Amino acid sequence: MQADALSGGFANAPIDAAHAFRHIMQVMAEPGRIETVTGGTPPAPLSQAAGIVLLTLCDPETPVFLAPSRDKKAVRDWITFHTGAPFCGAGDAAFAVGTWDELTGLPFPIGTAEYPDRSTTLIVECEAITNTDATLRGPGIKDSATLSLPETAAFQANAKLFPLGLDHILTAGDQVAALPRTTKVS
């Protein structure tokens, strides 16, 4: 394990994790909302926001899939040291991290009728996140909201699977947004 893996975690873990958790829950509860997260500095090529999501939501019982662009020794060592999360293939992932092109089409769990919560949350690394392009409707949105998405058809198909489906956390730099499976995209 490299010495770099030992740094970059939350400086004040209880407070930083609580702030990060609140921001992540706010974007999940209000699709289209964009929040800035701070407190952790993961190794490249992980964005700050993706690293903070992993620090906040992962633990030794949370299998993580790393797409090829993120599957680097420094990233694995950092995640292992700070969260203890095990690494797995796409079919066993609770969380998956990568670009849209890398994550699309992989056989991630979408839950079952008995356990719809046993699905994967995709952490999609984006160039930027803005309140433009796709129109969002559904729970947590008063009338409508907008959010830049890598595409719309996949999100439309995902929403039709409800209560099954994937949840998405979009990250870019220190920004985070989310698109739960309940959100209708047009």
The predicted-structure confidence for 79-111, as pLDDT tens digits, reads as follows 999 999 999 999 999 999 999 999 999 999 999
Chain centroid to Cα 84, Å, comes to 17
Cα distances (Å, whole numbers) of residue 51 to 55, 82, 140: 6, 10, 25
Number of domains in the chain: 1
Q: Which residues of 10-20 are buried (b: 16+ CB within 10 A; e: fewer)?
A: beeeeebbebb
Distance between CA atoms of residues 49 and 158, nearest Å: 24
Confidence at residue 2, expressed as pLDDT on a 0 to 100 scale: 57
**Residue 78 in contact with residue 42, Cβ under 8 Å?**
yes
Residue with tokens 């939350």: 10
Which residue ranges in the chain fall short of pLDDT 50? none
Distance CA 6, CA 17 (A): 17
Distance CA 85, CA 56 (A): 11
Where do runs of H (alpha helix) occur along 33-161? 48-57, 73-83, 100-103, 153-160
DSSP H or E segment with residue 125: strand 121-125
| CATH assignment at residue 63 | 3.40.50.11310
- Backbone φ and ψ of 124, nearest 5°: -95, 115
Domain that holds residue 30: 3-185
Q: What is the pLDDT of residue 13?
A: 85
Q: Which pLDDT value is given to residue 176?
A: 98
Q: Read off the pTM.
A: 0.95
Sheet holding 145-147, edge to edge: 145-147, 134-137, 184-185
The rounded distance, in Å, linking the Cα atoms of 186 and 175 is 23
Residue 25 half-sphere exposure toward CB, CA atoms < 13 A = 8
Looking at residue 4, what is its pLDDT?
A: 66
